[in-house]
Structure formats: structure tokens, C-alpha cells
Amino acid sequence: MRGGLVVKRILLLSLLLPTIALAAEKNPLKDPLRPLKSQNSAVSSVVKKPAESQLDWRLGAVLVAADRAVAMINGQALQVGDRLHGYQVKQIEPGSVLLTKGQKKLVLRRSGTGLKKASVLEAGEGSQP
């Protein structure tokens, strides 16, 4: 009795395995970490430069000293005369940087220092002991 059950299971598996294999060929598993393919060709290895209007300009720290001025723009330390995305750094001030590209002018401004001003209380102001 038991031998007949084993034979039936083997026969059933031999019939199901080709069906499962055909289904797997039609719908192969996709690697979720694999880069997406473009519609026209295989994965493009060319990195496109962002359009000028899509550039995300970020002015970080600004250092202005008597002998030099440095601005951190998009994570790069730049001085007057340096270039970034075709723009030339023309002027660096403590709160802003002027960049030019031909006749175009771009002014980047610091959003804030994140520091709070200390306030000094005069005698007689504030809470009493």
C-alpha cells in the first residue's frame, strides 16, 4: 500500500515539474537590485548632466578672511575664479556668493547660521529670585 502511494507522488511530481518550469520561463524572477532598463536599449551607462534649471545649488559654509575667501557650494570648496557647472565664482561675501556664466548671474545666499543670538537682560528685567 505504501509503495503505491510513493509511486503516485513521484508520478504527480513528474507531471507538475515541467509545468512549473514553463511558468518560470514565461515569468522569470526579477532582481530588485538590478538597475532598470530603458525602453529602447539595455541599461545606459552614460550619466547625463543635469539641465541648468534642474541644478540644486546649495551654499554651505563661507569663509572670508583678509587674504582669501572660500565658499562651499554643493560640497565643493571654491574660491573666486573657480568654475562649477560652467559658472565662474566672481564674488564671495559672508552671506552670499555671485556666480556668472556669460551674461547670466546667479546669487546664492546662506539660509541662516542656525545659531541663536544671546540676549542680555538689563537689571530689573526678567524673572525675580
Query: What is the tens place of the pLDDT at every residue in 37-51?
Result: 654 444 444 455 555
Residue 12 has a pLDDT of: 77
Task: Please tell me the CATH code under which domain 55-109 is placed.
Answer: 2.30.30
Residue 50 has a pLDDT of: 55
H/E stretch holding 63 reads strand 59-64
If DSSP states are collapsed to H, E and C, what string results for 88-121? EEEEEECCEEEEEECCEEEEEECCCCCCCCCCCC
Return mean pLDDT, the chain: 75
Residues 6 or more apart whose Cβ sits within 8 Å of residue 84: 73, 74, 76, 78, 99
Higher pLDDT pick, 36 / 90: 90
Mean pLDDT of 62-91: 92
Q: Where residue 77 falls among pLDDT bands split at 50, 70, 90?
A: very high
Is pLDDT of 78 > 80? Answer: yes
Is pLDDT of 111 > 80? Answer: no
Mean pLDDT of 31-60: 61
Is pLDDT of 120 > 60? Answer: no
